[in-house]
Amino acid sequence: MNKARRNPFNLAAAHGILIVYTIIALFPVFVILINSFKERRSIFREPLALPHSESFSTVGYETVFNQGDFFLYFQNSLIVTVASLFFVLLFGAMAAFALAEYKFKGNTLMGLYLALGIMIPIRIGTVAILEMMVATGLVNTLWALILVYTAQGLPLAVFILSEFMRQVSDDLKNAGRIDGLSEYTIFFRLVLPLVRPAMATVAVFNMIPIWNDLWFPLILAPAEETKTLTLGSQVFIGQFVTDWNAVLSALSMAILPVMVLYVIFSRQLIRGITSGAVK
């Protein structure tokens, strides 16, 4: 074994650097959260102190609940994210299966065509996307967002899933064919369950950018009833800029759902990245 890897001094230094960076990473979140539970004067007088019996207050959260429609925003974000993920996974897996399983003319070309979108951001086409959504009457509906995020997620999903589907054993599929299963049954009943881990990876990769996106909600669905949580908190904070209690509480409430999702899925996410799915 490496000498350096055994040296206790080096290990202590490594812990030191990592602890310092962990503090840098978590400090802003921590400051926002503790101050959201304080009354106005303590926010300014002792910003780094934990809330105690004297300074504790939920007045910010009350403002947020009375003024902003955060439940509606949350519901919109949830619908958009879940529906987009569903379509990305379903359509992506189907296309990936076709590319991985069948030999047909133009297979490679189709794969390259679908992979184009991995590197070219969909935002470049925003002007024309907005025109199209206006023309089809989809502007200010959640469908506009769902369609855009589905198109945005498909290239990487097809790329990752087809890699995994090539590894599914041919014997299994051929056994199914001999038993008279249709190609559709083979896909849904035999192949899909086997690539479930890859599907989870794709889902987690897509979830965060969709949930956090500000650009498309701002442009395609800025109406009050279709605001997502990210856009809703942006607008709310913009209006309440001087009400520090409300701003801090709104920020905390925007942090909360992502943190919950992260705690649930962090293992999947980190395993997904480190398994080399995006290499």
- Mask: binding to other proteins, 143-162, rule CB under 8 A, as x and -? ----xx-xxx-xx--x----
| Sole binder of other proteins in the list 9, 53, 66, 102 (CB under 8 A) | 102
Token duo for residue 6: 């055994």
Buried b (16+ CB within 10 A) or exposed e, 254-268: beeebeebeeebeee
Q: Verify binding: residue 121, other proteins, rule CB under 8 A.
A: yes
> Are 63 and 246 a contacting pair, CB within 8 Å?
yes
Nearer to other proteins, 59 or 151 (CB): 151
In whole angstroms, what is the distance from residue 45 CA to residue 36 CA? 14
* 276 φ/ψ angles, rounded to the nearest 5 degrees: 85, 20
Q: Verify binding: residue 215, other proteins, rule CB under 8 A.
A: yes
CB neighbour list of residue 2: distance below 8 Å, 6 or more residues apart? none
| Sole binder of other proteins in the list 123, 166, 189, 196 (CB under 8 A) | 123
Nearer to other proteins, 98 or 203 (CB): 98
Q: Verify binding: residue 175, other proteins, rule CB under 8 A.
A: no
Q: Verify binding: residue 192, other proteins, rule CB under 8 A.
A: no
| Sole binder of other proteins in the list 139, 202, 246, 251 (CB under 8 A) | 251
Q: Verify binding: residue 56, other proteins, rule CB under 8 A.
A: no
| Sole binder of other proteins in the list 36, 42, 162, 233 (CB under 8 A) | 233
> Are 206 and 84 a contacting pair, CB within 8 Å?
yes
